Amino acid sequence: MRPFTPSDAIRAVQVTTRFPKAHGAPIHFGDPLSIGISDITTPSYGDAVEIKHDEVPVFWACGVTPQNVIRHSKPPICITHAPGKMLITDRLNNELSFM
């Protein structure tokens, strides 16, 4: 989750929609309760983020779920990322973009 002003949230949707092979567009913005988050001040993973009065919470799909699957399925090899350390490849943005 990242807080944005409404106009910046719209721009974030416009920019990230082009990259569905990365995190892609947000899956939700607005009331956290409508996606099952009852207390946004205590996240399951990571640190809480302050949401200012003029901002809305914007939610993207998270890498934590697949990391938990990998941890439990124990594949012979897997390449992923660590929090704050994204996977870097030689793929160009335009190779990942569909628009």
Q: What is the pLDDT of residues 54-92, one digit of tens each?
A: 999 999 987 777 788 888 999 999 877 776 777 678 888
Output the CA–CA distances (angstroms, integers) from residue 33 to 30, 40, 46, 60, 98, in the order listed.
Answer: 9, 9, 19, 15, 32
Compute the distance between CA of residue 22 and CA of residue 81 in angstroms, rounded to an integer: 12
Domain that holds residue 43: 2-83
User: Cβ neighbours of residue 78 under 8 Å, at least 6 residues apart?
Assistant: 70
CB 28 within 8 Å of CB 60: no
In a domain, 95, yes or no: no
Q: What's the confidence (pLDDT) of residue 66? A: 79
CATH number of the domain where residue 6 is located: 3.30.2040.10
In a domain, 74, yes or no: yes
Amino acid at 27: I
* Number of structural domains found in the chain: 1
